[in-house]
Amino acid sequence: MLAALAALAALTLAAPAIAQTTAIPARETDSQRWTREWEERLHNDFAYLARYRADNARLGAPVAGQPRIVFMGDSITEGWVGKMPQFFVPSRIGRGISGQTTSQMLLRFRQDVIDLKPAVVQIMAGTNDIAGNTGPTTDAQVQGNIMSMVELAQAHGIRVILASIPPADHFEWKPGLPTAPRIAALNMWLKDYAARVGATYADYWSVLHVGDALNPAYGTDGVHPNAAGYAAMAPVADGAIRQALAKPQPRRMR
């Protein structure tokens, strides 16, 4: 009897410690944290307007004689700023957000492009639409969102560079998708559409690919360029910027 009571007392004393141990949540991985934050933003700030709001307010007006270039895009554009900051001289403004689709970019286009009064905007988009990051999206819907961004830009006197979707034969976060055929089809449309509306086409795909894939020398995950990849992209961007600036300014909307 005494032995049983002693055992019961030991269990009672140990119970708080056991409960305390099991109540501690597991530490989030970077991937889990990104996913949780992404889901929260989709419900609270779908276009993530908060991302650059303060930066835009601090930016000020363009400097005379230094045409401002805004790079609108997703993680490939955002990573460019981080891995090749020397490319982004004060007149070049990165406005990429990881994971974003064309629908999100369209919603923030006024705040993050038009209101900054650039001479040129480069739009690089489509990777995450193919991945379905904000739900299933057809090529026609992607094209419609890009057309709306181009029309908004040109209506405000902004020249447009349409960037090709970079090569990818798979997406690690969405395995099994047939990525390459959609990228090829959308790039063909982007090149044709740019010619039809007086925009400039920047062909990054051609300098980054091996077959349908991202050259392993230019990125390790099959989608995102590394420093060497961005170095290969820079001359394409420089040429596209020169070509765009040489074109007449679109007639502003009254």
Domain boundaries, the chain: 68-245
Rounded CA-CA distance 94/146 in Å is 18
Report pLDDT for 24.
Answer: 52
Structure tokens at 99: 């994971």
pLDDT value of residue 2: 41
Q: What distance in Å separates the CA atoms of residue 236 and residue 221, rounded to the nearest whole number?
A: 22
pLDDT recorded at residue 136: 95
Task: Report how far residue 194's alpha carbon sits from residue 190's, in angstroms, rounded to the nearest whole number.
Answer: 6
First to last CA, the chain: 94
Q: What's residue 19's pLDDT?
A: 43
Q: Distance between CA 182 and CA 23 in Å, rounded? A: 46
pLDDT value of residue 41: 76
Tokens of residue 93, six digits: 């403004």
Strands 120-123 and 159-163: parallel
Segments of the chain with pLDDT less than 70: 1-26, 34, 38, 254
CATH superfamily for domain 68-245? SGNH hydrolase (3.40.50.1110)
- Asked whether the beta carbons of 158 and 114 are under 8 A apart, the reply is yes
Tell me the chain's radius of gyration from C-alpha atoms.
24
pLDDT of the residue at 66: 96
In tens, the pLDDT along 109-153 reads: 999 999 999 999 999 999 999 999 999 999 999 999 999 999 999
| Predicted model pTM | 0.86
